[in-house]
Amino acid sequence: MTEQSVIFFDIDGTLLDHDKELPHATKEAIFQLKEAGHVVAIATGRAPFMFEDLRKELDIHTYVSYNGQFVVLNGKVLHTNPLNIPSLVKLTETALHNNHPVVFMDHKDMKANVPEHSYIKEGIDSLKIDRFPTHDPYYYKERELYQSLLFCKEGEEKQYEQEFHDFDFIRWHPVGVDILPKGGSKARGIQKIVDKLGFPPEHQYAFGDGLNDIEMLSTVQNSIAMGNAEDTVKEAAKFVTKSVEEDGIYHGLQMVGLL
């Protein structure tokens, strides 16, 4: 290797396959990058507590979580961008009237505004994590929240988009939508890290597959969409690799000359 680069990886559908397993070739590729002296980071919509085991397994200490709202560099918090709480309270009141549950999330935990709901179970179960939100309808008080989850069917989020302009809404599941601060994104979180580390655009790389990766893939100069990504995601990227099940990470890194 002649020069050091930084590579950001999404988790679900990128590092992890659809069974939430880490392919052997992907793990091998990550350690080859690290051994070559590159900086390996994660850029995900997940909360920090949702991928702690993965960070330990891959020995990664730099990450963009909550789609850019909670950014950590070498184990230390670099940037936070919390939600507007008064607006979130109003949204939650509307959602409660519509029987749409909401989950409040900070960097340590997540709490639901209702005791139980089938949509919460369906959405959280799909992540295959060992954490489930317990009930605390006032978890938003006296703390910063970096993301919330609105559970509703596809199309039903339109009402909230029209009414609550402090937020962006990104669907991640047939019954689940991320609530983010307006303008918050993985791309902005990544920018905080590359500004601090001083990497020029030509030495920045990003891999992703989801709708919440579009801004990241269209902003990072060397962007690679997974083969399992939707067409709109692939169109945002400079390169397209194989699917996660076909060792897309390893193949993509070879494609761009990092391995």
- Residues serving a catalytic function are 10
Q: Are 34 and 3 in contact (CB under 8 A)?
A: no
What single letter denotes the amino acid at residue 123?
G
The whole-angstrom separation of Cα 90 and Cα 78 is 30
Rg of the chain over all Cα atoms, to the nearest angstrom? 18
Count Cβ atoms within 10 A of the Cβ of residue 30 and give its class: 0-12 exposed, 13-18 middle, 19 or more buried.
Answer: buried
| DSSP assignment of 60-128 | ---EEEGGGTEEEETTEEEEE----HHHHHHHHHHHHHTT--EEEE-SS-EEESSS--HHHHHHHHHHT
Structure tokens at 127: 């992540």
Torsion of CA 4, 249, 52, 199, to 10 degrees: 20
Q: For the chain, how many residues are written? A: 259
Under 8 Å between Cβ of 83 and 68: no
- Do 42 and 67 form a contact (C-beta atoms < 8 A)? no
Residue of 154, 48, 160 lying closest to 105 (CA atoms): 48
